[in-house]
Every structure is written in C-alpha cells, then in structure tokens.
C-alpha cells in the first residue's frame, strides 16, 4: 500500500511542494540493508554517481531529514538512526517508479557517513580503555552481548514496573513504529495509571514517579529543539500538557512541581516558534491551541491562558488575529458564567488588539475596565513606557478614587510620591508620604514627610500622632509613637506615654532621651517594671533580660540606678542561681 503526503516547506529561500512517497515495501527498511530493497539498475548507477563525485554534500535540514543534490536533482531522505522511512527526488524516474539512481547514491552516502562515524567512536573507545581494576557497570556493558543485554532488560522490565516506565520514557523517541505523539500519550497514560490509587488520587511517592517521567520528557523536548527536530518537540510538549493537566489536583503535595512541567512545555512551544519552523507546523500549532484552550479542564487549572499567550505569539496575519480575539470573547463569556475573574483575559485581549494595530479599540477597552487593578496597572505601564507622565499621574489618581485594594493603593501612592518629588511638588509629596506612613508605619515615610513639609510641621506632627493613637494597638505602633515623641522633642508627652505603656522594650528604645529631664520618674519606672518582670517570670531567659536592661542603664548614663538594682536583686533573690550568674557578668 502506497501513501502520498504533500509536504510544504521553505527551502533555500523559495517555497516548493514536494510529494513524499512512503512505501511500506520499499521505504521502510534498514539503511545497512539497502541493497535488498533497491533495484539493481538504481544501485549500479547510484554507486557510479557516488564514486564519480556527482553527489553533493549531505545537509541535515532537521533532525534525521537530509538533503543532497545529485546531477542537479534535489534528493531528500527521512531516516531514523537506522531505518529509511521516506524519500523524494525531483527526477521523472522517481515520480514514476518511487526509486532512482539519485536516491540510491544519497542512501549509500548516508550509510558511508554512519559507518565512518561508528568507526571513529569505536577507535576512540579503544584508546580510552585501560586495564580494569574492579568490576564496574561500564566493563560489564562493554563485554556483554547485545542479545543478552536485550533479554536482561526485557525480563527486568517485566518484573519491575518503575524500570519499565523509566525505560519507555528514556527511549520513546527512538520508536518509529508508533506515531510520534501517540507514543508519548501512551507513555504518560501508563505512568498515570501505574501511580493512581483506586480513588483516583496520586500519593506523594506516585507524584514523584510521574515527575521523574515528565522531567525526562522535558529534557528530550529541549534536546529536540536544539537538534531542529521541531515536530518531535511539539508532540512531547503537547502530550505533557494534555496528560498532566487533568491530574494536577490529584498529585498530593506535588501540584506545584507538576504545574512547573506544564509551564515548561509551553515555554518549549514558545522557544520552538521563535526558531521559525516550517509554516505547516506553525499552522498546526495554531489549530491545536484554538481547539484545546476551551476545554473545562484547562480553565479549572488556570492553564487556558497559556494557550492564548501561545496564540498571541503565533498570530501573523489579520485572520489569525481575529480568530484569537473571537476566542477570547467566547472565553470571557465562560468566565462570566463560572464567576471567574476576567482581568487576565482582558489583558490578553488588550495585547492582541495592540498587536493587530487596533489601538482605538484597545484604548476603549482599557478605559472601560480601569476599575480592575490589573487593567489599571497595565494602562499605567503603557503610559509610562511611552513617556506620558501626566497620564501616568492621572491614572494613578483615578485608581485612588476608585478605591483599590490596600496593596494596589500603596503601589499607586508610592508612584505618586516619587512623581511629586521628581517634579518638586512638595505639598503633594508631603501628602502621599504621610498617607504611606500611616498605612505602613515605615519610619522613612515619616522622615520624607518632615523633609517635604513647608510650614506648619509641628501642627502636622500633632495630627499624625492623634491618628496613630486612634489605630489598633500593636508593638510597632507603640514604638513608632515613642520614637516620634522622642525625635520631635516632645519629652513631657513621651514620659507620660512610657509610663502609660509600661513596656521595658519601649524604655530600651527611648529611655536615653529621658535620663536628664525626668530622672526620678524614669528610675522609678525602671525599678517597678524590672521588679514586676522578676516577680512574674522565671528561668534563664528572664535573668538574661534583666541583665540586658541593667547593661542598657549603664550605657545611657544611669549607672548609679543600675548598681542599686543589682544590690537589691542580689539581696531579694539569692536562690535564683541563673539571675546571680547573669548579674555577675555585669562586672566582667
């Protein structure tokens, strides 16, 4: 039975249509036995052409796809590492008989090339061999016969399912009897079935086994791209996407790792497209993405957007761009029905419209959806990239008026603060610095507010403190208020505040400001808080805490108080050995 396949590709800068004639009887045979499958006339004439130098150099267009020119006739041969699986020649005889002397010459040249390469490998191997000192795997493999090794591997694979899966994963690409994509789908099906429990979940160990197979296929896909075997790379990537996505939520504890392999599969498709493969493959990838993206399993796992990003990369013509936009509209309707956030699809739609040059539509879509944080950020980024600073500012202010979530509000205020400082608009800068400070309690914002204040700073500080005091209690808020009192010189208010707070931590932070003006009140507070701490806490950590506070008193010039407290504690707590040890360290 003879099959004819039209193969379109660009070759040497011109588009040609080739007729590939693939005959099971004559075009699927071992390369080293070509004499048994080629008629004698073609063999004799082909050998004459080869010896006369009429066959041009061999050129590998893609992995295992070879081109040569013989007597002005272009010959292409598709081989696996050892078998001839397809060929074509421009000559009339080939079109009539499916064989010719030109093809025979190229096949002989390919066989000679393989034989030369094998001889070189054998020679290099012999040169590297030395007298073995122990029994190693390498030595065993060098000495065992091929038949014995195959028998062993076959028997071991039957007895060990994990080994069988690993074997199939490693060498699936070498199998030519099964369609390229089908063998990878079968491999992943058998792997998933092997690790799936009766309730269809996959244990941690099973997920690890699946991840190992996916890792092997991922590496093979990368290698195929490097070797320009783009169809094989695409088939591997598609198989990973189709089979790994449905089991994502079943892979207990390893979902993120399995998702990583799906993402890498899409990355490989993007990389493949950037290598400019044959137009027929690009068209097939676009058809694939258009057909697959709408499946519920992809939406449920957040994978559908990756298909749209691939389509965005593939779009080159107005018809393709419109297909993408139509698909996005349909997907938005499904998102709406399923109550999913539409912002990711809107961003893709904006990118598609801009790529198609439909800027007015993109602008309208963007303006209509500014209330969505992702769209607002996209609009701001677009304006910033174009240097439209007034628009950036206007969009950020609009976002604040729309009541964005806290993290978005913070990002917008930070942007407006930077713009105001760049424009030396100190009033605006002060306003946003105060707002950021009250929201985050990050002190550098308070310092920015002080730096940008023109007049009335004292009054503004009072207003800021009042707002802080109205906020819910937190350690950070307490210490921040104390620091403001101290650095702004409001020492009377600070002393009242630390007495009210009753915190050793706060005293350690601001005590140095109060030693001179409020010595008696401060010393009384230290004595009371330390006594309470010892009364209510035991153990080494408590003793260490007491020593740290006493050491701090020495540092801020309150050594007399520290010595009084040391003697008092030694007299009152002689049986607390850890405390005595820590107090002794103060004298070292």
The pLDDT value recorded for residue 137 is 65
Give the chain's largest Cα–Cα span. 118
Instruction: Check: CB of residue 386 under 8 Å from CB of residue 392.
Output: no
The pLDDT value recorded for residue 369 is 84
The pLDDT value recorded for residue 15 is 36
pLDDT band of 65, cuts 50, 70, 90: confident
Query: Can you tell me the distance from the alpha carbon of 345 to that of 245, in angstroms, rounded to the nearest whole number?
Result: 20
Helices (H), 318-388: 318-337, 343-355, 359-368, 373-385
Mean pLDDT for 123-141 is: 65
pLDDT band of 21, cuts 50, 70, 90: very low
SS (H, E, C) 61-109: EECCEEEEEECCEEEEEEECCCEEEEEEECCHHHHHHCCCHHHHHHHHH
The pLDDT value recorded for residue 412 is 93
Query: Can you tell me the distance from the alpha carbon of 566 to that of 544, in angstroms, rounded to the nearest whole number?
Result: 13
Mean pLDDT for 261-273 is: 94
Provide the percentage of residues in the chain whose pLDDT is more than 90.
Answer: 40
Question: Is residue 158 scored above 80 in pLDDT?
Answer: no
C-alpha dihedral, 361 to 367 to 369 to 374, nearest 10°: 100
Mean pLDDT for 541-546 is: 89
The pLDDT value recorded for residue 122 is 79
The pLDDT value recorded for residue 574 is 87
Residue located via tokens 């994509």: 181
- Ranking 61-70, 131-140, 144-153, 461-470 by mean pLDDT, the lowest is 131-140
C-alpha dihedral, 402 to 404 to 410 to 413, nearest 10°: -10
Helix, strand or coil, per DSSP, at residue 574: coil
The pLDDT value recorded for residue 48 is 93
The pLDDT value recorded for residue 27 is 74
pTM, entire model: 0.58
Instruction: Check: CB of residue 133 under 8 Å from CB of residue 64.
Output: no
Query: Computed over its alpha carbons, how large is the radius of gyration of the chain?
Result: 38
In a 13 Å sphere around the CA of 226, the CA atoms on its Cβ side amount to 6
Any idea where the domains of the chain sit in the sequence? Answer: 2-122, 156-277, 472-585
Residue located via tokens 């007491």: 546
Mean pLDDT for 539-565 is: 89
The pLDDT value recorded for residue 534 is 86
Question: Is residue 3 scored above 70 in pLDDT?
Answer: no
Highest mean pLDDT among 8-12, 90-94, 157-161: 90-94
Mean pLDDT for 432-454 is: 94
Average pLDDT of the chain, as a whole number: 85
- Ranking 10-24, 452-466, 505-519 by mean pLDDT, the lowest is 10-24
The pLDDT value recorded for residue 5 is 32
């Amino acid at each position: 039975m003879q099959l004819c396949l039209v193969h379109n590709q660009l070759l040497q800068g011109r588009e040609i249509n080739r007729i590939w004639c693939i005959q099971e009887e004559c075009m699927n045979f071992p390369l080293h036995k070509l004499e048994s499958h080629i008629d004698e006339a073609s063999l004799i004439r082909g050998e004459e052409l080869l010896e006369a130098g009429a066959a041009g150099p061999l050129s590998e267009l893609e992995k295992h796809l070879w081109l040569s020119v013989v007597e002005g006739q272009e010959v292409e041969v598709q081989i696996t590492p050892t078998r001839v699986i397809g060929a074509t020649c421009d000559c009339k005889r080939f079109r009539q008989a499916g064989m010719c002397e030109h093809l025979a010459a190229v096949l002989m040249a390919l066989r000679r090339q393989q034989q030369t390469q094998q001889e070189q490998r054998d020679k290099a191997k012999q040169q590297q061999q030395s007298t073995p000192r122990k029994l190693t795997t390498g030595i065993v493999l060098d000495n065992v016969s091929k038949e014995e090794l195959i028998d062993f591997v076959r028997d071991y694979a039957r007895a060990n399912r994990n080994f069988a899966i690993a074997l199939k994963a490693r060498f699936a690409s070498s199998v030519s009897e099964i369609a390229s994509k089908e063998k990878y789908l079968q491999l992943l099906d058998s792997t998933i079935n092997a690790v799936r429990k009766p309730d269809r979940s996959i244990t941690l160990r099973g997920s690890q086994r699946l991840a190992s197979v996916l890792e092997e296929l991922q590496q093979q896909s990368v290698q195929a791209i490097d070797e320009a075997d783009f169809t094989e790379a695409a088939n591997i990537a598609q198989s990973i996407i189709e089979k790994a996505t449905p089991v994502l939520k079943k892979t207990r504890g390893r979902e993120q790792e399995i998702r990583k392999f799906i993402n890498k599969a899409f990355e490989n498709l993007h990389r493949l497209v950037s290598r400019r493969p044959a137009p027929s493959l690009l068209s097939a990838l676009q058809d694939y993405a258009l057909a697959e993206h709408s499946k519920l399993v992809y939406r449920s796992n957040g994978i559908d957007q990756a298909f749209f990003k691939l389509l965005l990369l593939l779009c080159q013509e107005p018809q393709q761009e419109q297909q993408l936009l139509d698909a996005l509209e349909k997907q938005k309707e499904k998102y709406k029905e399923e109550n999913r956030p539409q912002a990711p699809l809107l961003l893709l739609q904006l990118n598609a419209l801009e790529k198609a040059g439909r800027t007015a539509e993109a602008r309208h879509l963007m303006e209509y959806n500014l209330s969505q944080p992702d769209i607002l950020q996209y609009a701001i980024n677009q304006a910033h990239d174009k240097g439209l600073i007034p628009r950036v500012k206007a969009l950020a202010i609009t976002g604040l008026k729309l009541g964005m979530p806290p993290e978005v509000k913070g990002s917008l205020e930070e942007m407006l603060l930077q713009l105001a400082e760049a424009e030396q608009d100190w009033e605006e800068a002060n306003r946003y610095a105060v707002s950021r400070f009250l929201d985050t309690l990050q002190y550098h914002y308070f310092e920015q507010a002080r730096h940008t204040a023109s007049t009335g700073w004292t009054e503004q500080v009072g207003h800021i403190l009042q707002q802080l005091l109205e906020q819910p209690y937190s350690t950070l808020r307490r210490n921040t208020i104390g620091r403001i009192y101290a650095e702004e010189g409001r020492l009377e208010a600070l002393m009242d505040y630390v007495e009210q707070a009753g915190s050793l931590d706060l005293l350690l932070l601001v005590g140095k400001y109060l030693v001179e003006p409020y010595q008696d009140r401060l010393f009384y507070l230290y004595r009371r808080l330390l006594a309470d701490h010892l009364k209510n806490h035991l153990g080494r950590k408590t003793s260490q805490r007491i020593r740290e506070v006493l050491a701090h008193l020495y540092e801020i010039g309150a050594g007399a108080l520290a010595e009084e407290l040391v003697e008092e504690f030694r007299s009152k707590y002689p049986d607390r050995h850890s405390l005595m040890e820590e107090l002794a360290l103060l004298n070292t």
